[in-house]
Structures are given as structure tokens and as C-alpha cells.
Structure 1
Amino acid sequence: MLTLNRDPSDDEASEKASDERRAMHQDSDSKPAVTKKRKKPTECFLTQPEEKQESTVKAKRRRKKKISDILEKSSPKPGVPKDLQNLLSQHFGAKRSVIEMEELKLSDSCFLPANDLTHSFSSYLKEICPKWAKLRKNHKETKSVVMLVICSSALRSLELIKSMTAFKGDCRVLKLFAKHIKIKEQKTMLEKGVFHIGVGTPGRIKALVEQDGLCLNSTKYMILDWNWRDQKLRRMMDIPEIKNETIDLLEMNIIKLCREGSVKLGLF
């Protein structure tokens, strides 16, 4: 029987190869299995209410009505005496007693015909005051005017002064607003001269009355520039500051004089 002599190097080579295979197997076993990551579901319920709330707020802001929106759906209506009566009731209703509210009420006889939006300022004044020439000549008192015209701003006052040329004749008109004119200058002019018409803002006229610079006892007409609208389409009574100052001026003495029959109110 023949025996083969094996080369020791072959045994070493096979053993080395076996070790390498074992090491590779261990490496493959030691690596963790790769798992596919699952995409987490989007939690829509967390973000949707915030978006909905924002859209609701925006919708509310859009729904807020402006004066221009109201005018688009309806034509402008001229002011009437009832509008002023309602304004006084709303302003004083929660602050005054029933007896005090009665003292603020004005009858229809206290009012001049209201402007129906067809008049210019001159034509309106001619209609409500046909005997103006006589009144103008008979007025001789200082610190007073026969007619007061109340506007929302100095610029509007200047516009009305220019537009009444056909009516005023030889009468003297005094600017009664704060822009570029100090109240001391206006008081001096009223003390030294005779003026027939005063045109200005309620705040300055109220201040002159309070400081005894202007007396209302000789006033026969008080015209409110009721229907005119500014660039934002606001009437004078739509501006809180102007509205409050006008009501304060009316309450100071005008309402009492109207009830006594010496002053007439007009809404232009």
C-alpha cells in the first residue's frame, strides 16, 4: 500500500483559507440588518387649526365695512334735521336724565331748509337767508357774527369762503380755524372790527367762545357743512374729534338760543 507524503505548506494554506472564510462569516454576522425607515405620518391636525384661525381672522378683517363700501351700494342721502336729533340722542342718551334730554330736543321750527344736494353754497345761503342785505347793514356789534359756518377742516373752510362770493356782497368774513392763525390774533380782530360771517372749525370756535373772544348772542344762523365728504369719504360727523367738538359747541349756548328762537340751524 502506497502512502503519499503531504506537503506541510498545503495544510497551512488550507487552514489559512479556512480562517479567512470564518472571519468573513463572523463579519457578515456582526453587521446589523439594514431596515428600511418608514416615513412618519404627517400630523395634519396640529397645523390645520392654526391656518384655519388665520384665514378666519383675515375673513373678519375683510368683512369690516367701510364708508366707501356703504356708499357703493347706496346713493348719498342729504342730511335732515332728524339726523342731528338722533346724533344728540346717541351722544347724551346714557349720560343724561330724561329731563336733561328734553332740554336738548329741538323742534322742526329750529331748523332751516336742508340742502337737497342740488345747491351750491351761495345758492343755498340765498335760499335760507333772503333778507341778508338788511341783516348785514344792521349788524354793528364787535366780538360777534351774524352767521357761523362750521366745517371739518381749515382747507374746507377756505373752499366755502371762496364759493360764497355771489352771496356775501360787502360783508366781512373772518377765518375761524387754527391753521396759521393764532387765537390771540382772532380775538383782537373780533374786538376791533365788525364781522358778519365766521367760517371755521368747531374746535377753534368753541375755544373763542370759552375765552370770551366770540359772543353768540348776535348770531342768527349756524350752518353745518353736513353733507361734504373728505378724501376718505367721511362727513364731518363721521370724524370723532370733529363730531364731539361740534356737539360741545351746540350744547354751550346754541341749543338754548335755538329753542328760544333767536338762532336757526342749517344742514348744508
Structure 2
Amino acid sequence: MSDSEDGAGNKKPKDVDDEDLDEAKGLNRSIGRMDSRLLADYMAQRTRRFEPDLSMVELEDRYVPEKAIRDTSSWDSERTLDHLPGFVEKFSEGDLKKAPKSNGAPHTIVVAASGIRAADVTRGLRKFEEKGTKVAKLFAKHIKLKEAIESCKRLKMNFGVGTPARISDLLADGALSTSNLKRIVIDASYIDVKKRGIMDMKETQVPLAQLLGREELKSRYGQEEGGIELVFY
């Protein structure tokens, strides 16, 4: 199917049909059927759509390689918030409740489309908290970047949940460390009331592509030792 226009004038990806978009549950069901190659293609297509002026070299910098993405198409439960903890457990190794010793150095970063959604995801992952260990919300509209940096530096966290732009800002500052990072979970199946997910809006897809293309992350994709996996929920 070729790209088609939705009611808001946004193009839907060629591999998404209207019947895949469950408005009642806020789900794009097509994400769950995509293997690593299809997800890499999906991301690349959206980058070309939203950043048409990028050169071939710049596009290559944005490209997320197939080897970076874990194939989660075997997951057969709905990709709703209540199933997220079980999903993360299934596609992760090690004790998820255990936090690295350093502050601001989670083993898992979860990327959400908005501050409100990040707050919901944070609550959904509370089961992984223990005394002294936080599932940390890295974004809220009322929290300025300076406050977020100070908070990040003093928190011992196993999960950090935020928006692409805020996560990039915290990484750039050094308040958020990738020293213990094992995986980045992208909250990709969730759609808003306009049936748009994190990869379907320029204001979230562009910073997401920029985040995933950061050199400190990209250099570790596909590595057996100290590698970082991308996991699309």
C-alpha cells in the first residue's frame, strides 16, 4: 500500500492500515508484527518523510541498523501499559530491580512521546522499584532542565523514562550516564487521539532519530560485550 493521507494531512507509513490503529485502546497493532528489519525500515522511512533535506551522509547518521533492534514479534499479548512490565522482563536479561551503583546510570531507558505518557509509563513500571532505587521520570512540563539535571545526578535509578529531547539533553549534560545502559525501550505502539505514535509526528520522530543516532549509543549497537539493544514496544 502506498503512503496515504490521514484526516490531519499527515502521511501514514505504507505498512500501516487503518484497521491496525485501535483508537479505543490507543494502539498501533502493526508495530508488534514488525521484526528487526521492518522496524529499521519504518524508522528510516519516517526520517526521510520528516527530514527531506538531509544529505545521504546525514541520513546515514540517522539510520538505525537492523542489528541494533531486538526482534520482539513473538510477543502475543497486547502492547498496552499493563503488559509492559511483563514484556520488558521477557526481552531482558538480569535482575531488573537491581540498580547500578552510580547515580543517573540506569540499565534501561524508556522513550515516550510526551511528558504525560512518560508519567504513565513510569507508574506502569513501579513494580521494579526497591528501597533506594527509582524508576525515574526524566521529563515533566513543570520541571526545567536545570532541575532535571540536579535530580538525575542524585538518583539511583534502574529505569529512566522520558521524551527523546529531554533524554538527549540529559545525556549531553552528563547527568544521565550510559555507562551501565543495556537497552532502550521505545514506546512505539502507543497512539494518541489523532492516531499518531512517537514515530508519526515530526516533533517526536526527529528528536527520537537524533537520540538513537548519538555516537555513544550507536557505537555499542550489536556489540556482544557492553552492547545496547533497541526494543520497540
Which category describes the TM-score, using the shorter chain as reference length? Answer: 0.7 to 0.9
Shift of 1:105: 5.3
What amino acid does structure 1 have at the position aligned with 2:18? Answer: L
Evaluate the alpha carbon distance shift between residue 105 and residue 65 of structure 1 in structure 2; reply closer, same or farther with a 3 A threshold. Answer: closer
- Name the TM-score, length of structure 2 as normaliser: 0.73
Tell me the residue number matched to 1:218. 180
**Bigger helix fraction:** 1
Asked if 2 retains the 8 angstrom alpha-carbon contact of 1:104 and 1:255, the reply is no
The 1:88/1:235 distance shift into structure 2, 3 A limit, reads closer
Deviation string 1:136-184 (CA, Å, 9 cap, x unpaired) is 15x1012321110000011111111222233445531111114111221
Find the counterpart in structure 1 of residue 25 from structure 2.
none
Q: Which has the higher strand share?
A: 2
| From 30, 36, 54, the counterpart of 1:77 | 30
> Does residue 1:95 correspond to 2:58, yes or no?
no
Q: Partners of 2:20 and 2:232 in 1: how far apart?
A: 24
Matches within 5 A, 1:29-68: 64-66=5-7
For the residue of structure 1 that corresponds to 2:185, the secondary structure is: strand
Report the TM-score, using the length of structure 1 for normalisation.
0.65
Where do residues 1-268 of structure 1 align in structure 2 (5 Å cutoff)?
Answer: 64-66=5-7, 70-72=17-19, 76-79=29-32, 80=34, 81-90=36-45, 91=47, 95-97=55-57, 101=60, 104=63, 106-108=65-67, 110-111=69-70, 113-114=72-73, 115-119=75-79, 120-133=83-96, 136=98, 139-170=100-131, 171-252=133-214, 253-261=216-224, 262-268=227-233
Paired with 2:21 and 2:69, the residues of 1 have a C-alpha distance of 29
CA distance in 2, matches of 1:163, 1:229: 17
Kindly state the Cα deviation for residue 214 of structure 1 after the two structures are TM-superposed. 1.4
**1:78, 1:116 within 8 Å by CA — same for their partners in 2?**
no
Deviates more, 1:198-207 or 1:163-172: 163-172
Q: Superposition RMSD on alpha carbons, in Å?
A: 3.1
Separation (CA, whole Å) in 2 of partners of 1:166 and 1:175: 14
For residues 111 and 226 of structure 1, the distance between their equivalents in structure 2, rounded to whole angstroms, comes to 14
The verdict on how the C-alpha distance between 1:183 and 1:77 changes in structure 2, with shifts beyond 3 A counting, is: same
- State whether residues 126 and 167 of structure 1, in contact with CA within 8 Å, keep that contact through their aligned partners in structure 2: no
Deviations, residues 86-111 of structure 1 (Å, cap 9, x unaligned): 1453436962249x839945244642
5+ residue gaps, structure 2: 23-28
Aligned-partner residue type, residue 196 of structure 1: N
Shift in Å, 1:132:
2.1
Q: Which amino acid aligns with 1:258?
A: Y
- The amino acid that maps onto 1:127 is K
The aligned amino acid for 1:126 is E
What one-letter code is carried by the residue in structure 1 that aligns with 2:89?
Answer: K
| Percentage of identical aligned residues | 20
**AA at the equivalent of 1:144:** A
- Give, as a single letter, the amino acid of the residue that structure 2 aligns with 1:86: D
- Distance in 1 (CA, whole Å) between partners of 2:55 and 2:70 is 25
Q: Distance in 2 between matches of 1:105 and 1:70?
A: 23
Which has the greater radius of gyration?
A: 1
Residue 184 of structure 2 aligns to a residue whose secondary structure is strand
Change beyond 3 A, Cα 1:73–1:205:
closer
Q: In the aligned structure 1, how far is the partner of 2:205 from the partner of 2:95?
A: 29
Contact kept? 1:112, 1:265, Cα under 8 Å: no
Structure 1: gaps of 5 or more residues? 1-62
Q: Is the 8 A contact 2:185 2:232 kept in 1?
A: yes
